[in-house]
Amino acid sequence: MNTHRNEKIFRLRFGTPFRTPAVVIDQWNSTEAFTQNNIIEIEETDNQIRLELALRNEQIVLGLGEQLGALNKRGRRYRAWCVDEPHHNPDKDALYSSHPVLFISGEPCIGLFIDYPSEMDFDIGFTQHDRIRITIPSGSADIYLWQADSLRESSREYLRLTGSSYVPPRWAFGYHQSRWSYPNDASVRAIVDKFEEHGIPLDTIHVDIDYMDGYRVFTIDEKRFPNVKKLAGDLLEKGVRLVSIIDPGVKIDPDYSVYREGIADKHFCTDDDGHPYRLAVWPGWTHLPNFLSSKTRTWWSSHVKRLTERGFAGVWNDMNEPAMFFTDHSLKRIEDAVVKLEDKDGLQPWDIFNLRWACEDIQNYRENFKTMSQHTDAGELVNHWDVHNLYGYGMTMATSQAFEDDKQRRFIFSRSSYSGMHRISGLWTGDNSSRWEHLILQMRMIQNLNLCGFLFCGADVGGFNDHVSPELLVRWTQLGALTPFFRNHSAAGTRDQEPWQFGETILSAVREAIRIRYALMPYIYSEFLKAANKGIPLIRPLAYQYEQPALSEFEDQYFIGDSLMAAPVHQPNARGRYVYLPEERWLMLRMKRWDDYQTEILPAGHHYVKADLNEMLLFIPENRLLILTEPGNSTDSVSGRYVVLGLVAEETELELWEDDGFQRSIRREDCNISRFHVEPSGRRVEGHSKNREVCFNILEPGRK
Ligand code: MIG
C-alpha cells in the first residue's frame, strides 16, 4: 500500500489500479503516513480489499449518487455496477451508474471514494447494523479518504477531488417533451404546435430511436425525417430545440459505412478470439465501440459532430452500461437448458429452473461482460469486466469531445455514468415507472446525485414504464418543475402523457406548473451557475443545508439553491402534506399560477399544509429572497419584470447571475451580476438589472 496526502484528502493506492478519469487532482506529493485513528480498518487479502467502519446510532451515510434505498443509505446493501435495469423496485441493488462515494456524518465527518470501475459490494449497516463493510474483489484500487467538519465540507472535498459540474446551455433548464417515439417530422411539428396552442412553454423536443434508419446509429430515416435541418430550423424559430438519442451498438451491416469504418480501424471491443464482440440490441446484431481508445473516441466524436451539424441541438446517450439484449453466450445457455427437455423421464427440477433462469437473465447476462475485451491507448488488453463501470463515461467523453472547440456550451446527457462524468454531462435516471413510489425515489436520487457532483439531473416526468394517471402526471410535473432537468418521457406502448391528454382540469394544472418553472428560471439558473462555480450541489438535503444529520429523516424536502425549499405533494389523493420547517420563520407560497398565490408566514416545526391538485408549495426561509419573472413561451423569450419575494426582518440581499445562456466561462466576472437589496431604508437594485422593472413583494412583520 502506498499513501499520499493532498491537503485534506489521503490517497491509498493498492496494487496497480486502472487509471480512471474520475479524479482531477494529480499531486500526491507528501508521503506522510496515513494515520488510521481507528476510524477505518483495511484488510488486504489475496485479490480482495475490505474496508470496515463502525457506525454509531446517530450517524447517517449519504452518497452513492444514483442508487435505490433511502436518502440515508444505512440499513441496506448496494452494488457498484452499471446495469440496464428497467425495474426500479426496492429489492434491486444497482442501477445505470456507479458513484462509489460515501459521506458519513459524525465528528469528524468521513468521506470515502473508491476509484475502482468494476463491481463492488457496499454493505452499509445491513449485515451488522453498526458497521459499514465495503468489499472490493480485487487487489488493485485507489481509495480516497478525508475528514471534514460537516457533510457540506465533506461533499465539497469530494468535488475538489473530482471537479465541478458540467453546465448545460440555459435552454436545457426549460421544459422538455419526449416520448418513445415521435415517429416522424409531422408528429414532431404537431406536438410543438399543441404546446403553442395550449400556451405551454417548451424548449426541447426529443426524438427517440425510431428517427434512425433501422436503428443504425448516426443515420436518419429519410422517409420519416426528410429534412432534419429544415425541421430544426423551423422549430428554433419558435424557440424549440431538437435533441436526438444515440445508442452505442453499431449494426453489423456491410452496407453501412459506420460499421465498415469500425471494422477497418479496429474500433470495436473484442471477444476471446480477438474478433469484434457480437451482441444484440435494437438494430439486431451489433458491435460495441471500444471507448477506452482515444482513437475510437475521436472517430465517434466526428460522427456526433456531423449529427449536430444536421440540426440536432443536443445528444442523449442511452444504452451505455452497456445494455446487451442477448449474445451468443446467453443464447447458448438457453439452448443447453432446452436440450435437457428431450429426456423427459430423466428431468430434474433444477433442469427446469435453470431453463427459467437462462431465459430470465438473457438480457444483460453477467457472464457476458467477462467475455469481452477492450484495449487501451497503451496497447494493453483489458477484460471489460474490470472496467465495466466506465463504459457510459467513455461514450460520453467521445460525445463531449465533438464540441470541445465550440465557443458554446452544448447539451449532453447520459444514462450510464461513473464518478467524475459530472464534469462533462448531465444525467437522467433511466426507466422509472408511472408509480407514486417513484416520486420519492426521484427526490432521494437527485439529492444524492447532487452531493456527488451531478448537478444537472432529473427523472422521466410522468414515469417511463406503465400508464400514468392524470393525478400522478400533475404531481410529477409539479415536482419536475423543481428539479434541474425537467423532461416528460414515456415508453412505447404506454398511454400518451403530454400535458393535454387528460382534459382541461389536468391540462391547466400541468401548464401552470410548467409556467411556474419558467417564472423561477432566472433564480434556478443563477443558483446553478453559482453552485457550479463554487463546486457545491444545487439540490441540497436538509441535513446538508442545516448541518444536522438527523434532518435526513425529511427526505421529501430539499433546497434548490439558498432561498427555496421544495416540499412537493407525492401521495395519491393527498390534498396537502406534512412539512418540517427547521428555521424560525418561513414564507410559504401556495401557488395556483406564478402570479396567483397565497402567502402564509409559518413558524418553525411540523405543519400540515394544504395543496390542492392545482397548487404548488414553495418555501422561503426568513431573510432570503426569491425572484420570479413572467414566463415566456421558451427560455429565449423570458424577459419580463422581476418580482422579488421574501419575509424580511433584517438587511437581506440576493445576487443574481445571468449570462447569454451559452458562454463557456461561468466565472463571476464573466457573468452579468445583479444585486437585489431589501433594507429598512428601502429597496435597491444594483448592477446589471438596475434599469429593469423590478417589483418588490416583501413582508416585514416584526422587523428588528
Ligand atoms: O431498451 O430508446 O432508457 O428512455 O426511450 C429501451 C428507447 C431503450 C431506454 C431508455 C429510454 C428510451 C428507450 N431505451
How many Cα atoms occupy the beta-carbon half-sphere of 373 within 13 Å? 14
**Cis peptide leading into 499, omega within 30 of 0?**
no
**pLDDT surpasses 60 at 344:** yes
**pLDDT surpasses 50 at 540:** yes
Q: Among 208, 216, 460, 487, which is best to mutate for testing ligand 1, by the most ligand atoms less than 8 A from CB? A: 208
**pLDDT surpasses 70 at 531:** yes
Residue 426's DSSP bridge partners are: 413
Q: Mean pLDDT over residues 258-266, rounded?
A: 98
Average pLDDT of the chain is 95
Q: Mean pLDDT over residues 317-344, rounded?
A: 96
**pLDDT surpasses 70 at 538:** yes
With a 6 Å cutoff on the Cβ, whether 209 touches ligand 1 is yes
Kindly report, residue by residue over 125-163, the tens digit of the pLDDT: 999 999 999 999 999 999 999 999 999 999 999 999 999
User: What was the pLDDT predicted at 3?
Assistant: 58
Q: Which atom of ligand 1 is nearest to the CA of 415?
A: 3
Q: Which atom of ligand 1 is nearest to the CA of 430?
A: 3
Is residue 367 among the annotated active site residues? no
User: What was the pLDDT predicted at 1?
Assistant: 54
Across 257-266, b (16+ Cβ under 10 Å) vs e yields: ebbeebeeee
321 Cα–ligand 1 center, Å: 12
Close Cβ partners of 666 (under 8 Å, ≥ 6 residues apart): 167, 529, 532, 533, 659
Q: Which atom of ligand 1 is nearest to the CA of 431?
A: 3
DSSP state of 634: S
Using CA atoms of 674, 677, 682, 684 in order, give the dihedral in degrees to the nearest 10. Answer: -10
The span from the CA of 582 to the CA of 139, in Å, is 45
With a 6 Å cutoff on the Cβ, whether 318 touches ligand 1 is yes
388 Cα–ligand 1 center, Å: 20
Residue 417's DSSP bridge partners are: 97
With a 6 Å cutoff on the Cβ, whether 216 touches ligand 1 is no
Q: How is residue 523 written as a grid cell?
A: 433564480
With a 6 Å cutoff on the Cβ, whether 74 touches ligand 1 is no
Q: Mean pLDDT over residues 644-664, rounded?
A: 96
**pLDDT surpasses 80 at 592:** yes
**pLDDT surpasses 50 at 574:** yes
489 Cα–ligand 1 center, Å: 10
DSSP state of 371: S
Exactly one of 321, 460, 527, 622 is catalytic; name it.
321
Is residue 253 among the annotated active site residues? no
User: What was the pLDDT predicted at 703?
Assistant: 61
**pLDDT surpasses 90 at 30:** no
Quickly state the pLDDT bin for 39 (edges 50, 70, 90): confident
User: What was the pLDDT predicted at 34?
Assistant: 47
SS3 343: coil
Do residues 562 and 587 make contact, with C-beta atoms less than 8 angstroms apart?
no
Is residue 431 among the annotated active site residues? yes
Q: Which residue has the cell 452579468?
A: 672
**Cis peptide leading into 637, omega within 30 of 0?**
no
pTM here is 0.97
Q: Mean pLDDT over residues 108-124, rounded?
A: 97
Exactly one of 153, 203, 431, 512 is catalytic; name it.
431
- H helix count then E strand count, the chain: 13, 40
Q: How is residue 129 written as a grid cell?
A: 447494523
318 Cα–ligand 1 center, Å: 7
User: What was the pLDDT predicted at 680?
Assistant: 78
Q: Which atom of ligand 1 is nearest to the CA of 208?
A: 2
With a 6 Å cutoff on the Cβ, whether 208 touches ligand 1 is yes
